[in-house]
Amino acid sequence: MTLSDEEIRKLFRVNKTLSHMLKDRGYIVTDSELEMTHDQFIDKYGENMERKDLLILKTKKNNDSDKIFVFFLQEAKVKIDEIKACFERMESQKVFRAILVVKEEINRFGQAAITDANSKLKLYVEVFKETELLMNVKEHAFVPDHIALTAEEKMALLEKYTVKENQLPRIQYTDPIAKYYGLKRGEVVKIIRNSETSGRYVTYRFVI
């Protein structure tokens, strides 16, 4: 189904936010993607574009095996078959992380399918509504850099300060900034703030 001009303008903004989000998560994103204009967006995907045409596949810097898909689901009422098709593509291409961009909230059956995929298939699938991506939350607030620690870095931090992870300050994985950076429950995130006195101020939070 052909998209209206209004829908194309909305998807252009969503695509731009996603480009910056993926770059901030450490994926390879080109300057041309970050600086793409509305006209260039239409030139790339065509005036008769469909949501499924906006598929994104990105690779982490310095780690060719760490990839992420971004799927734009077609239907307002997402069907289980459409979700499962995303899982099948991920498995066939050995991509274990994905973002599903949807127009409306996914119903409980879809949520259950995602929960199953995350636990049984060892995938990590996030869901964003288009309305959540119309503005870049990082650009519209004073948001410092967030860097998820590796398992080894997390253990080293806890040993260095002789603390348990649940003794650290916390951040919920549903927090808009945690979602922007794709933080998972159980991770520890390093937060780097600019300080007028010391130049940089580093804190850590446990993701719950």
Give the Cβ contact number of residue 87 at 10 Å: 18
Q: Sorting pLDDT into bands at 50, 70 and 90, what band is 1?
A: low
Question: Could you give the C-alpha distances from 34 to 24, 53, 161, in angstroms and in order?
Answer: 11, 18, 39
For 5-133, CATH number out of 3.40.50.1100, 1.10.10.10, 3.40.1340.10, 3.40.47.10 equals 3.40.1340.10
Contact 145, 192 (CB under 8 A): yes
pLDDT at 20 over 90: yes
Question: For tokens 């252009």, what's the residue?
Answer: 12
- Is residue 143 pLDDT above 90, yes or no? no
Q: Are 125 and 150 in contact (CB under 8 A)?
A: no
Range(s) for CATH 3.40.1340.10 in the chain?
5-133
Give the HSE-up count for residue 159: Cα atoms under 13 Å, Cβ half-sphere: 6
Looking at residues 150-175, what average pLDDT do you find? 96
pLDDT over threshold 80, residue 2: no
Please state whether 132 falls in left (phi above 0), alpha (psi between -120 and 50) or beta: alpha
Only one residue has tokens 């734009």, namely 72
How many Cβ atoms from other residues are within 10 Å of residue 77's Cβ? 12
Least confident of 39-48, 66-75, 139-148: 139-148
pLDDT at residue 141 tops 80: no
CATH code for the domain defined by 145-207? 3.90.940.20
Where are the domain boundaries for CATH 3.90.940.20 in the chain?
Answer: 145-207
